[in-house]
């Protein structure tokens, strides 16, 4: 049972990172932490062999693309500054 609790804690750490941190790279890292946490969970549950390794790769690629463009367009890495659209 403790293994699953560990996965949950890992997931919550990732969620904390996404909710609290303002640097967009940190936010992306937080999302990836959550992905890894769920991956642990699935592996513990059923030896899901590929885990979700490729999905994590895809999410990373999209995240990095968005981060690169965001920095180019906003000149800043602060998520608080990306408030061009309101609401």
Partner 1 sequence: MLNIILAIAIVCAVVAAESRDLRYSVYALGGVGACLALAFLVFQSYFFAVFQLAVVALIVYLFIRILNNRGIVNDEAPHGAPLSYVVAAVFALLALWLFLPALRLLPTPQEISTKYAETLRAYDVFGMIVIVAVAGIALLSMLRNKGQE
Partner 2 sequence: MTLFLPAFIAAPLVAALAIMLLSWQKKAGAAGLANLAAAYLFASALLLYFFRPFNTVLLFNLSGWLSPGGNSLVLDGLSHLHLLVANFVAWMAAVYSIDYMKKFANRDNYYALLLLMITGINGVILTGDFFTLFVFLEIGALSAYALVGFGNQRAEIEAAFKYFVLGEIASLFILLGLGFVYGLTGTFNMAQVSQTFPTGAVAIKNLILTLFVAGFGLKAALVPFHAWLPDAHTSSPSPISALLSGVIIKTLGVYALVRILYNVFGVTNQISFLLMILGGTTVIVGGLLSVGQKDIKRLMAYSSISQIGNIVAAIALGSPLGIMGGLFHAFNHALMKPLLFLNAGAIDRATGTRDLRKLGGLYSRLPIISAASIVGSLAISGLPPFNGFWSKLFIIIASAQAGNIALAVVVAVGSILTLASYLNFMKGAFFGPAVGEVKEATPLSMLLPIVVLAFLCLGIGLFVPVVSQYLINPAVVSIFNGIGYGKLMGGN
Q: Read out DSSP for 10-74? A: HHHHHHHHHHH--BHHHHHHHHHHHHHHHHHHHHHHH--TTTTHHHHHHHHHHHHHHHHHHHHHH
Of partner 2, partner 1, none, which one does residue 75 interact with (CB within 5 to 8 Å by kind)? Answer: none
Binding mask 19-58 for partner 1 (x = CB under 8 A): xxxxx-xx--xx-xx--xx-xx--xxxxxxxxxxxxxxxx
Name residues contacting partner 2, limited to 26-65 (CB under 8 A). Answer: 27, 31, 34-35, 38, 41-42, 45-46, 52, 55, 58-59, 62-63
25 touches partner 2 by CB under 8 A: no
Please give the helix or strand (H or E) that residue 79 lies within, else none. none
Question: Looking at 2, 83, 85, 87, which residue binds partner 1 (CB under 8 A)?
Answer: 2
């Amino acid at each position: 049972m403790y293994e699953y609790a560990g996965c949950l804690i890992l997931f919550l750490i990732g969620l904390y990172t996404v909710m609290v941190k303002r640097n967009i790279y940190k936010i992306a890292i937080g999302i990836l932490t959550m992905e890894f946490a769920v991956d642990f969970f699935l592996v513990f549950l059923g030896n899901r062999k590929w885990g979700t390794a490729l999905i994590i790769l895809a999410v990373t690629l999209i995240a990095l693309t968005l981060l690169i463009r965001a920095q180019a367009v906003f000149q800043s890495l602060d998520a608080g500054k990306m408030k061009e659209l309101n609401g």
